[in-house]
Chains A and B, each alone.
Chain A
Amino acid sequence: MSGILGGDLLIEITYLIATALFILSLMWMSSPTTARRGIFAGETGMALAIAGTLLHHGIVDYKLILIALVLGTIIGIPLGKVQMTAVPQRTALSHSFGALCVTLVGTAEFYLPRAEPMTRFMMAVLCMEVILGALTITGSLMAAGKLQEWLPQRPITYKGQNFVNLGLLGVAIVVAIVLVIHPDRTQLFPAIVAIPLLFGVMMIVPIGGADMPTVISLLNSYAGLSAAAMGFVLNSKLLIVAGALDGASGFILSMNMSKAMNRSFSNVLFGAFGQEQTAVAGAAEARPVRSATAEEAAAILAAANKVVIVPGYGMAVAQAQHKVRELFDSLSKRGVDVKFGIHPVAGRMPGHMNVLLAEADIPYDRLLDMDEINGDFAQTDVALIIGANDVTNPAARNDSSSPIFGMPILDVDKARTVMVIKRSMGAGFAGIENPLYFMDRTLMLFGDAKGFVGNIVRELSGGGGH
């Protein structure tokens, strides 16, 4: 008897240590100097928790567990080695895996033979677990598909979309409530898996590429919350804490993202992302713009004292980050002060640009976020925009009729000279014209981001021959 009791105590202790390590792990993530220690803490916590669980005296069959652990590792290794540009879709995919695990466990728990019926509270939490889990499975798969461009990136909208989506979710919740009141109606259970699965797909259909940072964070949060709910069902504090941490982290990130796009949070929560399809794209009267060659751009950059580079998703698409590093090196060597201004929603997930630039060996103390850099633009000689559009649009600040009015932007228009590398004059994601391009101080550099930056670097290192 005491053996079993002692074993349980041991398990409890490993779980407690694991929980503490998880919290430490996140605390160390607050600075790049301690962050790797954070991973180590997380790994140790995870190993302890798994080891502790294996001690569980109820376990009779280790063969299946072992096979599954090995199989998961085999799948996991390539997922850990993807290209940095593919990180957003990888993340979406792993949200889907996490949710799959939770949903399967929830489903199995529901059908487990038990001595006494589930309490209402447990049933309610279980329903929440399965609903959130199921919608995250398909929602994340859809998001990953869009990011990988297996699915059309364009938002697909139709009339009554929000009505259909909210209706679906509403039905799932009603079914869940019925289940809570009458736990014996087990035939209803498949519905609260199937409907959210469908809802997950419908929720992502209207979402376009630029909304991805918000959506990924939100799905992250859902995955965490469903794991926390699972913790309540299994009565495991470790799971509750880990799930709550993940849920909180996703929640905070999605709040940041929605704030950075000037959307209300409820707007985001209800999955009504595609709303701003007001097609302002018309009225493209050919206004004159000034364009420049790589040679001219290089001359201006070489003469500058302070340069701020503003990267956007276009840089990621063109894989231009390594060329940008060459530009950074070449300008720094000439004594030019080069910084990077990064908008919270630049790219396809929170912090996407930072990872790409860090991959290209640009020191992280040169990467500044919007609030840190905005005061600097007035003293900046050249703001060089590479593949970003809406996040630099001054209309967000001063044109109350603009659909993006109120969205916080990078104040690039305050720099002495603005250079924009862009393929063509096509409008950005939101289909909004950018008055920045028509300013007297703005030079348009038409071309592929990677090629054009490469040309500038060549001109700079060409020793200014002519």
Chain B
Amino acid sequence: MLAAFIGFEVIKRITPLLHTPLMSLTNALDAIAVVGAIILAGEHKNTLAAVLGTIAIVSATSNIVGGFLITDRMLKMFKPSGAKKA
């Protein structure tokens, strides 16, 4: 709960300039749910859990990879005045 509160304060200070990359970053972080999916698929307690867990890993991993990639691409584009033009 404390962490959520800190998060709240931190996010409130982020400039509107970076709201799109913020959303794609939190999206990637959210994919930490993959942890739960890995345990499900790995423990293999029954077939249902293994199958659902595996699909869950796929969808979460695609978010991790895609989310970090695109956030990085976006942020690379933000340059201050006077920076060399690409």
Contacts and interface: CB of A to CB of B under 8 A. Distances in A.
Interface stretch (A217-225, A376-384, A452-460): A217-225
Interface string B24-45: 1111111111111111111111
Contacts of B68: 39, 42-43, 46, 80
Given A46-B29, A101-B59, A220-B23, A76 B65 contact: yes
A451 interface: no
Contact of B25 (A29, A223, A250, A349): A29
B81 A366 contact: yes
Interface stretch (A55-63, A148-156, A409-417, A429-437): A55-63
A81 B24 CA distance: 13
Interface stretch (A84-92, A181-189, A200-208): A84-92
Contacts, number: 354
A252 interface: yes
Chain B's interface: helix, strand, loop or mixed, by majority? helix
A140 B85 CA distance: 36
Contacts of A359: 77
Chain A's interface: helix, strand, loop or mixed, by majority? helix
Interface residues of B, number: 80
B75 to A, nearest CB: 5
Given A32-B17, A71-B58, A358-B74, A26 B36 contact: no
B11 A239 contact: no
Interface string A61-101: 11011011101110111111110100100110011011011
Contact of B18 (A29, A54, A366): A29
Contact of A246 (B27, B65, B69, B70): B27
Given A71-B58, A244-B7, A245-B29, A53 B22 contact: no
Given A242-B32, A369-B15, A95 B27 contact: yes
A404 interface: no
Q: Which of A46, A73, A97, A104 has the most CB of B within 10 A?
A: A104
Interface in B2-30: 3-4, 6-8, 10-30
A23 B2 CA distance: 12
A111 interface: yes
A123 to B, nearest CB: 17
Given A54-B38, A97-B63, A361-B79, A250 B26 contact: yes
A350 interface: yes
Contacts of B46: 111-113
23 contacts: A29-B22, A35-B78, A56-B42, A60-B42, A64-B44, A64-B53, A68-B37, A68-B61, A72-B65, A91-B27, A95-B27, A101-B37, A105-B36, A105-B56, A111-B48, A217-B23, A220-B23, A224-B26, A243-B33, A252-B11, A253-B19, A355-B77, A365-B80
